[in-house]
A and B are shown apart, each in its own frame.
Chain A
């Protein structure tokens, strides 16, 4: 798709999903796991969805765009706002530039993770390699 990539609706994440992600990443931060702590002691409305989950979605989004995970060459994610459990997050990708070479096409792109209220939760940028056959 010239200029962009189809947007992706991330699944609404439950407290149980967050707990599993924390187990998988060895993240014992109570801000993700203990609602009482997050609300009473830190003043948040709920626990925070871990940044690693946003990273995982953005990583998979880029891998799907590129065609496979190893074609995601360089990328970064900056966290800009918290995401709460059951909040709907949408990923939107936009192509910024492309360079053609003998190995295919090197695409520079950005990915925005936005909530239904258009709160930008994370901003990603990447270089991905797209093979000639998939253009």
Chain B
């Protein structure tokens, strides 16, 4: 077992974090993808549709946009390892808008070994997010496949 693998343990988590969703980032993303619905990029359209601000497109909230990449790498021994994204999952209980403050911590929920031509560890990270109103608004689950060779 390598030193990196040795630091990982199911149940282990990052420190608690809080992140504010920036309107400009939502607009940049919607424009890069040429999303047609204006609630993702136009404040006036979003308000007209009853939202408090520009809406985060489903899937926009993830480890990257929450600023967790370095924190996860340091916590779970992922710095410098060969890894690919396997699967992403969202359980949504409400909409996320620009200006929302999301708080949570990222937990290593499951860890399995995958045999095959290139053996891998499948690491499943779960991040439950609470907004500024105290609502459990979203759970993001991401699988990272870490090559053993």
A25-B66 Cα distance, complex, nearest whole Å? 9
Contact A74 B58 (CB under 8 A): no
Question: CB-defined interface of B15-45 with A at 8 Å, one 1/0 digit per residue?
Answer: 0000000000110111111111101100000
From the candidates A17, A70, A76, name the one contacting B89 in the complex (CB within 8 A).
A76
Asked if B88 contacts A76 (CB within 8 A), the reply is yes
Interface residues of B in 58-90 (CB under 8 A from A): 58-60, 62, 64-65, 67, 69, 84-90
Cβ-Cβ contact count across A and B, 8 Å cutoff = 105
Stretch from B4-12, B91-99, B109-117, B126-134 that touches the partner = B91-99
Count of interface residues, chain A, beta-carbon cutoff 8 Å: 33
Asked whether A69 lies within 8 Å of B34 as measured between CB atoms, the reply is no
Q: Is B108 an interface residue (CB 8 A)?
A: no
Task: Tell which of A20, A62, A68 touches B32, judged by Cβ atoms closer than 8 Å.
Answer: A20
A76 contacts across to B, CB distance below 8 A: 87-90, 141
**Contact size range, B:** 35 or more
- A75 in contact with B28 given A26-B64, A51-B85, A70-B94 (CB within 8 Å): no
Q: Is B146 an interface residue (CB 8 A)?
A: no
Interface residues of B (CB under 8 A from A): 25-26, 28-37, 39-40, 49, 55-60, 62, 64-65, 67, 69, 84-92, 94-95, 141
Question: What are the nearest 3 A-B pairs in CB distance?
Answer: A59-B58, A59-B59, A24-B28
Q: Can you sample 22 A-B contacts with CB below 8 Å?
A: A20-B28, A20-B32, A21-B32, A25-B64, A26-B64, A26-B67, A51-B85, A53-B32, A56-B57, A57-B33, A59-B57, A59-B59, A60-B58, A64-B37, A69-B56, A69-B95, A70-B92, A72-B90, A75-B58, A77-B88, A77-B89, A78-B87
